[in-house]
Chains A and B, each alone.
Chain A
């Protein structure tokens, strides 16, 4: 009987190996699925229970607890555990109440005072989402510097290929997009990659804009056959949705019913009027501009909006000829679609590099100098384009007598100081086309960015941005003479290692 029991024990013993195996299986399952209930938890508990049974079992087997070495071992175990707990506590306190000093000359790892103050005063949670697979050390350090200021600030790295739902919620299109989320609001901060790392300037300004309650109000003029703001053929609904996501509110405006521009208007958009505006309306717009307002004009060819007097005071003349682009024809857009990859130096277009945008049936714009007005051509067509006067002809051909050879300007940004108030600026953006912003074309290439950046500049959000200078390292060189460098190199590569090896050989030889 006893021998059977013992034999059983012999095999029973191996069952206890299940303890650690179950424990590890539970741990792995929990870590992989990131979900701890109920299966992983059950496995872990089962593992712990089986291991506990083994302890009791083996204690009965060989009565180890009464030995002296066990008592010493228990003491050591308790001492070790308490030391670990103590060290953990000390480290916890050290992390909680850190003393941190940046000893770099340019304070490379310290946030600008503006950023510090802004983040310290955050009253609502602000989260930064970085949709990237790689976590750059530099970016992380910057984000941790923000987090150190205020626990309301947090950040999270997300792999957009793994957490698709989250990526879709934010509309992530590429790796490296950084989004800021505060309450209901989300906005794109920038796209990080190897050339461009996360910038404190952008991040702080985005936080500032997200938490400020002020929303810019954009009025769309109606009543003269302008592009509809609803979702229909040739409407602007995509543009309006994009504006909504960027914290703008939009509203139609009819100047026949009310003769003055509303007080809360940040800017007015006049999108492709088919009939001429009435003189009182033009006057209202002119007055609005003169008091430091902003106006976005999108005027198609073969229409006369009656804005000549307003435009003349800014030195802008609308050419009625249509821009023809042989390159547009060759990539399948048709000859009347100029493709633009050259942009003027302006905040609106500064990030465009050589990206393309295209404009179906556009008219060119002529700029002339007017005192006090700062004019910048935004969209410049390529030199092969020309402005065609005769569309009825059999063949579209450049005719030097009636046509104008490119490059032509089809979009321009203008600004002027307002006389009576020094700090205020009137801003005007004119496009010789409206099709680039309509539904369907808005999302193509850079078309939407042209529109949104123009609205951004016109709404003067850039004025609100905090002026933070990016941290730059000290410019420093090491000027070693060639001879110095040689001596240094030889010492490092030959002399010192040789001394080491020679000493080793000498000692070894003497010991023999």
Chain B
């Protein structure tokens, strides 16, 4: 057990090192920061942003003399921003996960990995943790902006809902990365891995819409697969064990399938 843990940590460190020394990773992060920063400014500070909309509503209410309906600017902003972040992640995450195994296949190091004494499980978990850590590092600056903005809220914002929303984002990212890792293990083309992952995630994203065409338990079961639905639950501030279990299932399934696919490789070669 201890040995497996050391193995996981070793793989994790190796992965992290490769990310933080890779120009491509920084370029991806740069683009992500630019886009998310742009949306942050538009949603919060822009002329159609929540701050100025609320100010307009207040002004109008003063002129008419009727109190305006209450607006929770912080809550609305958080929901909109995390919603945009999840859509951005939809594009960024397949790019992050595409090289996890495909790159090793291309370089021919996958055989070494497959036949090494480290179990396939440990490799998959280590790789996933590595790429997830990189994604979390990518959203850290955005967290800082949000803390600055929310600290100016009056009355102050209780931390439960923002924390739950970000937990949702991280769980979503972990699910997508885990499935992307599996797809990456199937091919030696990083491009193909990214495209396939994107397609799969898009499908799991919109399956809710498909599910609405069905009634009864069939529709419910399909809708339950939707990533968007469970993400929205958490972002709105609803903690539902069903949602957490779905994300955990996706993460587990990705790791399991990756390990299986590398296992199959071992037998194909022998």
Contact = CB atoms under 8 A, between A and B. Distances in A.
A103, A485, A499 pick with most chain B CB within 10 angstroms: A103
A102 B33 contact: no
Contacts of B32: 500
A497 B35 CA distance: 9
Interface stretch (A38-46, A415-423, A501-509): A501-509
Contact of A72 (B30, B153, B267): B267
Interface stretch (A75-83, A315-323, A360-368): A75-83
Contacts of A507: 21-23, 26
Interface in A390-432: none
Contact of B70 (A156, A472, A491, A505): A472
B149 A488 contact: yes
A500 B212 CA distance: 42
A476 interface: yes
Contacts of A121: none
A508 B23 contact: yes
B238 A102 contact: yes
| For the complex of A and B, 4 pairs with smallest distance between CB atoms | A500-B30, A492-B37, A475-B70, A504-B26
B174 to A, nearest CB: 16
A109 interface: yes
B239 A103 contact: yes
B264 A72 contact: yes
B163 to A, nearest CB: 9
Interface stretch (A86-94, A178-186, A200-208, A342-350): A86-94
A79 B21 CA distance: 38
Contacts of A503: 23, 26, 30
B264 to A, nearest CB: 6
Contacts of B237: 102-104, 108-109
Contact of A504 (B23, B36, B145): B23
A504 B33 CA distance: 13
Contacts of B26: 500-501, 503-504, 507
B152 A109 contact: no
A464 to B, nearest CB: 28
B72 A473 contact: yes
Nearest to A481: B152
Interface string B76-101: 01000000000000000000000000
A491 B143 CA distance: 13
A453 B227 CA distance: 45
Interface stretch (B2-10, B105-113, B195-203, B241-249): B241-249
A157 interface: yes
A36 to B, nearest CB: 11
B238 A83 contact: no
A79 to B, nearest CB: 7
Interface in A52-82: 68-69, 72-73, 76, 79-80
A491 B145 contact: yes
Contact-residue bracket for chain A: 35 or more
A212 B140 CA distance: 56
Main secondary structure of the interface of B (DSSP, over half): helix
A137 interface: yes
A472 B68 CA distance: 12
Interface in B105-161: 141, 145, 148-150, 152-155, 157-158, 160-161
12 contacts: A87-B252, A90-B245, A99-B240, A103-B160, A157-B212, A474-B70, A475-B70, A476-B73, A478-B152, A492-B41, A499-B33, A504-B25
Given A475-B72, A492-B40, 12 more contacts: A83-B256, A95-B224, A100-B242, A135-B212, A474-B70, A476-B71, A476-B75, A476-B155, A496-B33, A496-B141, A504-B26, A507-B26
A353 interface: no
Given A497-B33, A501-B30, A503-B26, A475 B263 contact: no
Interface string B38-51: 10110011000011
A311 to B, nearest CB: 37
Contacts of B242: 91, 94-95, 98, 100
A227 B59 CA distance: 54
A72 B155 CA distance: 62
B241 A99 contact: yes
A76 B263 CA distance: 8
Nearest to B159: A103
B23 A511 contact: yes
Contacts of A104: 75, 161, 236-238
B34 A488 contact: no
B155 A83 contact: no
A480 B260 contact: no
A479 interface: yes
A479 B212 CA distance: 41
Q: Is the interface of A mostly helix, strand, loop or mixed?
A: helix
A478 B150 contact: yes
B27 interface: yes
B179 to A, nearest CB: 13
B206 interface: no
Given A80-B257, A98-B242, A476 B153 contact: yes
B152 A484 contact: yes
B232 interface: yes
Contact of A476 (B34, B41, B74): B74
Nearest to A83: B256
A1 interface: no
A231 B160 CA distance: 63
Given A94-B242, A500-B27, A504-B27, A478 B73 contact: yes
B215 interface: yes
Contacts of A475: 70-72
A100 B241 contact: yes
A507 B21 CA distance: 7
A326 to B, nearest CB: 33
B149 A156 contact: no
Contacts of B153: 476-479
A101 B240 CA distance: 6
Nearest to A104: B237
Contacts of B148: 484, 488
Find the residue from B158, B237, B268 having the highest chain A CB count within 10 A. Answer: B237
B186 interface: no
A90 B72 CA distance: 37
A5 interface: no
Contacts of B22: 507
Given A79-B260, A87-B253, A91-B246, A476 B72 contact: yes
A496 B238 contact: no
A100 B236 CA distance: 13
A493 interface: yes
A499 B30 CA distance: 7
A350 to B, nearest CB: 16
B69 interface: yes
A22 to B, nearest CB: 22
A244 interface: no
